[in-house]
Amino acid sequence: MTTVQAGPVSARIPAWDGYCADPFALATPEGFVLYGTDPTVARDDPRVFCLLHSEDLRTWRHVGGALTRLADEPEGAEYWAPEVAHADGTYYLYYSVGAGEVGHALRVAASRSALGPFEDVGVVLTPGLPFAIDASPVQDADGSWWLYFATDHLAGPRPGTVIARARLHHMTELGPVEIVLTADADWQVYQRDRLIYGERRDWHTLEGPSLQYRQGRWWMLYSGGNWQGEGYGVGLAAAASLDGDWAPVGEGPSVLSSASGLLGPGHCSVLLAEGRDFLVFHAWDDARRLRRPHLAPLTWTEQGPVVELG
C-alpha cells in the first residue's frame, strides 16, 4: 500500500492509511524512514513494527516489518513504540515488549541499515523496573547519549506513569534511572479508581517523551492522559540541560489536542527535513479503529513549539 499526498505536507491528511501508532521518523541516506506500533500484525509474521519509506515526505510506502520477533517472546507479546538512533555506523532500535499492559521492559535491537531488519541484541535495559515503555534516545552536544522513557511511580499525590531518564553508558547499556517529570494536572488522568498494583488509584499517565534543543534550551514534548480517548494530547516541559531539572510549560495539552480537529493526537517525534522541523504524531481515524501517522510543519518561539495544522 502506498499513500500519496499532493502539495505541501498537511497535518490533517495521514501519511499512511494503515495502523502505525507511536510514529518515529528519521532522515537517512536511504530516504525518510518512519517506524511505528502496529497491533494488527499477525502472530505468525516473523517481523513486527510498521516500517514506512519516503523520498519526499509526501509519498509513503509500507516496506514490511522493522524488527525480527524475539525467539523467546512472552505469550501474547505486544511490541510498542520503536525509536531509532544512529551511532558508530549502526542503527539502534529501542522498544518495549510485554503482554498487554503487564511486564513491559525496554530492549534494543541493531541493524546496519535504517530499513532493517533489526535484530535484538539480547539485553533487557530495565530489568529492575516493573513497567517501562516509550524509549527515546537523545544525544547531547558533548556526544553523550541519554534514554528518556516512561515508567510507573506510585508515590506522590498523582501516582501513575511518569517520565524517567538514564545515561546510556553504551548504546546497549543503561545507567541509573531517575524520574524527571510527574503528573501535575487533571488532563493527565488515565483512569479514575483504576485497580493497579493491588490497589485502586486515580491513575495518571505521562508517556512518549521527545527531546529537542531549540531556542537555547531543551524542550520535552510528551503525551498525557488516556491514549484511547479524546483527552489525549501533547504537553510541554523545558530544561537547561539533559541532566537538569524539568519544569512544565503552559497549561493542558498545549502543543496538540483534540481541539485541533484531530482525534486523540499524541506520541510525537520531531523530524528535521527540507530545512525545517516537522512534528510526527498519531491520531485516530473517525471510526476509532486505526491510529494513523500524521506530519505537521513545526516552528519554534521562545515560548516553545507551534504546530502548523493548515
How many whole angstroms separate alpha carbon 272 and alpha carbon 288?
A: 29
Note if the pTM is more than 0.85: yes
Which grid cell sits at 252?
493542558
How many whole angstroms separate alpha carbon 82 and alpha carbon 36?
A: 6
Considering only CA atoms, which of 78, 75, 69 is closest in space to residue 116?
69
Instruction: For the chain, 310 residues long, give each residue's pLDDT as a single digit of tens.
Output: 555 554 567 788 999 999 999 999 999 999 999 999 999 999 999 999 999 999 999 999 999 999 999 999 988 999 999 999 999 999 999 999 999 777 899 999 999 999 999 999 999 999 999 999 999 999 999 999 999 999 999 999 999 999 999 999 999 999 999 999 999 999 999 999 999 999 999 999 999 999 999 999 999 999 999 999 999 999 999 999 999 999 999 999 999 999 999 999 999 999 999 899 999 999 999 999 999 999 999 999 999 999 999 7
Long-range contact set of residues 95-102: C-beta below 8 Å, sequence gap at least 24: 95/49, 95/67, 95/135, 96/132, 96/133, 96/134, 96/135, 97/70, 97/73, 98/74, 98/131, 99/74, 99/75, 100/76
Question: Grid coordinates 522498544 are at which residue?
Answer: 95
Q: Where are the domains of the chain?
A: 2-307
CATH of domain 2-307: 2.115.10.20
Give the pLDDT confidence score for residue 3 in this predicted structure: 58
Give the pLDDT confidence score for residue 160 in this predicted structure: 98
> Who's near 122: CB < 8 A, 6+ residues apart?
none
Give the pLDDT confidence score for residue 2 in this predicted structure: 57
- Cross-strand pairs, 97: 79, 105
